[in-house]
Chain A
Amino acid sequence: MLIQRPHDVPPSEITPKSVFAERRQFLRLAAGGALVLALSDAHAGDRLPAAAASPYSTPEEPTPYRHVTGYNNFVEFGSGKDIPAERAHRLRTSPWSVTLDGLVHKPRMLAIEDILKLAPLEERVYRLRCVEGWSMVVPWVGFSLSTLLKQVEPLGSARYVALESVVQPDTQPGVRLPLLDWPYTEGLRLDEAMHPLTLAAVGLYGEVMPKQNGAPVRLVVPWKYGFKSAKSIVRIRFTDKEPLTTWNKLQPDEYGFYANVNPEVSHPRWSQARERRIGDFLKRPTQLFNGYAEQVGPLYAGMDLRKFY
C-alpha cells in the first residue's frame, strides 16, 4: 500500500532556526505562568518524548511552526484566524479528562496523563486541507485514535462516534456568542474513526500541543476538510445513528457529514479544485481524499461522493 520510506530524521529535528527562537519565547512565556499546560508537568513548548517516525508521513516540507500555530480556526476563541494564537493561552487544560461512553461495554473517563501512556507516540506528518481553500503540512505527534477507542470495547451496534470539544465560557469568548451550536461536535463513521490514519494528536513539531491547535488532545483526520478534526476533545460518544455535527447543522448544503476532500465536489462558496499551500504563491490542484485515496478510498467504495459530501 505505502511505498514511502520513513524518514531517518523526523522533520521536527530539522526545524529552521527561527522556529527554535520562537520556541524559546514560548518557554519564557510558559515560565511566566501564562502558558502552563495540562500534561501533568508539561508546558506548551516542552518537548514530548521522542516520537517514532511513521510510514504514514508525507515527505513534503512541513509548514513553518509560526504559521501552524498562528493561523488557526478555533471558533471557540473567536472567528479570526489570528485570534486563537492570541487568546487560547487562557484555556485550562489541567485537569483534563476524556469521557468515552454510549454504545460501549466499558464506558470510561480517562485522564489525559493516562491517555498519553496508551501507546508509544508517533510523528505523523500529514497534509491538512481547510474547506476554505488553503492547506498546510503539519508534523503531528500522537497515535491512532483506534487505540483510544478500543479501551472501552465498542458494542456491535455502535456505528458512529461523536466527538465533543471543550466549552469553557470564562476562557473562550467565542462560546459566549451564538456563532455555532456549542459544544463543537464532530462525528465519524466507526470505520473511519478506527482507520489507522485517524489520529489522536497530543502535540506537533515534537512539542506538547499548543492550545490554539487544540490542546491537550485533538482529532486529526487528514483526508477530510479541517473542520472535521475537532480540537480539545472532552467526550467521545458511540452511537448507532449518524451524529448531528456542528457545521452540518449550521449549513447542511455547505458542510456535509463526510466532508472528504474532493476537488470534484465544490462548496457553494469555494471551488475545491485547487488550494493554496501556506507559503506558496501559486495554487496547486487539490487531490481526492487529500492525497490519501490509496489508504481510505476503500472506505467509500460504491458511495456517491457527490451525494455524501
Chain B
Amino acid sequence: MAKYIAALKTALFILCLLPLAHYAAGLWQDTLGANPIEALTRGLGDWALRLLLITLAVTPLRRLSGWAWLLKLRRMLGLFAFFYASLHLIAYLWLDQFFDWAEIGRDILKRPFITVGMATFLLLAPLAATSTKAMIRRLGGQRWQRLHRLIYPAALLAVLHFTWMVKVDVREPALYGVILAVLLGLRAWWRIDDWRRPLVPRRRIIPIQVRR
C-alpha cells in the first residue's frame, strides 16, 4: 500500500506542476496572447484557488468514499495551493508593480480586491509553515487542527478576491463560490449530524483518520 501511495504522490506532484509548465512554455513561446503578464498572473491565481478547493474537497471525498488514503495527498495539495498563491503574489509584486512598495501599500489600502487577496495570503502562510510532521507534533493535534481551520476563511476570501477583481461577468467566481459552499456546507451538515447523535464518539482523530 505504501508503495502505491508513494507512486500516487509522485504522479500528483507532476500533475500539480503542469499548470506552471503550461505558463512557462506559454511565456517562452509567446502563446499567452497580447498581454502575457496579465494571463500569467491570472492563471497562477486561478490555480491557487482551484488547488485550495481541491484541498478542501479531500475530507468530504474521503468521508463519502471511505478512501482513507486520500488524506495522505492533502498536505501536498495544500502546499501546491500555497505555491501557486505565492507565485501569483510574486507576479503581482514584481511584474505588476515592480516592487514599488509605496504603490503596493496604496493598492492594499485602497483596493478592496487587493486587500482581500493579501489577507488570503496571510491566512495561508502559517498553514504552509506548519505543514511538517515536526510542526504538527510541536503544536499538538488539537491546536494544529484549530490553526488549520484558517483554510475556511482563506478560501472564502480567495473567492471574494476573484469576484471583486472581475469587471462584469461574475459567473466564473460564482461557480467557485458554489463549489466552496458545497464543500463547507457538507462539513457543517456532518457536524450537526454528529451532535444529534451524542452516543457516537465525536470524530477527532488527527491528523489521519483510520476508516471505521
Identify the A interface with B (CB < 8 A): 63, 66-67, 70-71, 75, 78-79, 81-82, 132, 134, 177, 179-180, 250, 266, 268-271, 273, 276, 278-279, 281-283
Contact B35 A71 (CB under 8 A): yes
- B165-195 Cβ-contact flags toward A at 8 Å (1 or 0): 1111100000000000000000000000000
For residue B33, CB closer than 8 A to chain A, the reply is yes
Contact A71 B98 (CB under 8 A): no
For residue B3, CB closer than 8 A to chain A, the reply is no
Contact A271 B106 (CB under 8 A): yes
- Chain A residues near B111 (CB-CB < 8 A): 268-271
Given that A71-B34, A79-B169, A179-B169 are known contacts, is A266 also in contact with B110, CB under 8 Å in the complex? yes
- Chain B residues near A283 (CB-CB < 8 A): 98
Contact A134 B98 (CB under 8 A): no
Query: For the complex, what is the distance from the CA of A50 to the CA of B31, rounded to whole Å?
Result: 33
Contact A180 B34 (CB under 8 A): no
Given that A269-B111, A271-B103, A271-B106 are known contacts, is A70 also in contact with B33, CB under 8 Å in the complex? yes
**21 interchain pairs (CB within 8 A)?**
A63-B34, A67-B34, A78-B169, A79-B166, A79-B167, A79-B169, A81-B33, A132-B167, A177-B169, A179-B168, A179-B169, A268-B111, A268-B112, A269-B111, A269-B164, A271-B103, A273-B103, A276-B35, A276-B38, A282-B98, A283-B98
Contact B168 A250 (CB under 8 A): yes
Query: For the complex, what is the distance from the CA of A220 to the CA of B113, rounded to whole Å?
Result: 30
Q: Lowest 4 A-B CB distances belong to which pairs?
A: A79-B169, A71-B34, A67-B34, A179-B168
B163 to chain A, nearest CB (A): 12
For residue B151, CB closer than 8 A to chain A, the reply is no
B121 to chain A, nearest CB (A): 18
Interface residue count on the B side (C-beta < 8 Å): 20
Identify the B interface with A (CB < 8 A): 33-35, 37-38, 95, 98, 103, 106-107, 110-113, 164-169
Contact A271 B168 (CB under 8 A): no
Query: For the complex, what is the distance from the CA of A81 to the CA of B39, rounded to whole Å?
Result: 11
Contact A180 B168 (CB under 8 A): yes
Contact A271 B107 (CB under 8 A): yes
Most chain B CB inside 10 Å of its own CB: which residue of A63, A75, A78, A271: A271
Q: Is the interface of A mostly helix, strand, loop or mixed?
A: loop
- Chain B residues near A266 (CB-CB < 8 A): 110
Query: For the complex, what is the distance from the CA of A179 to the CA of B37, rounded to whole Å?
Result: 26
A67 to chain B, nearest CB (A): 4
Query: For the complex, what is the distance from the CA of A146 to the CA of B164, rounded to whole Å?
Result: 39
- Chain A residues near B168 (CB-CB < 8 A): 75, 79, 179-180, 250
B141 to chain A, nearest CB (A): 42
B103 to chain A, nearest CB (A): 6
Given that A79-B167, A79-B168, A179-B169 are known contacts, is A269 also in contact with B35, CB under 8 Å in the complex? no
Query: For the complex, what is the distance from the CA of A250 to the CA of B164, rounded to whole Å?
Result: 14
Contact A134 B38 (CB under 8 A): yes
- Chain A residues near B35 (CB-CB < 8 A): 71, 81, 134, 276, 278
Q: Can you name 15 extra interface pairs (CB under 8 A) apart from A82-B33, A271-B111?
A: A66-B34, A70-B34, A79-B169, A81-B33, A177-B169, A250-B168, A268-B110, A268-B112, A269-B113, A270-B111, A271-B107, A276-B35, A279-B34, A282-B98, A283-B98
- Chain A residues near B103 (CB-CB < 8 A): 271, 273
- Chain B residues near A179 (CB-CB < 8 A): 168-169
Instruction: Name the CB-closest residue of B to A130.
Output: B35
Instruction: Name the CB-closest residue of A to B166.
Output: A79
B97 to chain A, nearest CB (A): 9
A144 to chain B, nearest CB (A): 28
Instruction: Name the CB-closest residue of B to A71.
Output: B34
Query: For the complex, what is the distance from the CA of A273 to the CA of B169, rounded to whole Å?
Result: 26
B136 to chain A, nearest CB (A): 39
Contact of B37 among A250, A268, A276 (CB under 8 A): A276
- Chain A residues near B113 (CB-CB < 8 A): 269
Instruction: Name the CB-closest residue of A to B172.
Output: A79
- Chain A residues near B34 (CB-CB < 8 A): 63, 66-67, 70-71, 81, 278-279
Query: For the complex, what is the distance from the CA of A86 to the CA of B112, rounded to whole Å?
Result: 33
Contact B106 A71 (CB under 8 A): no
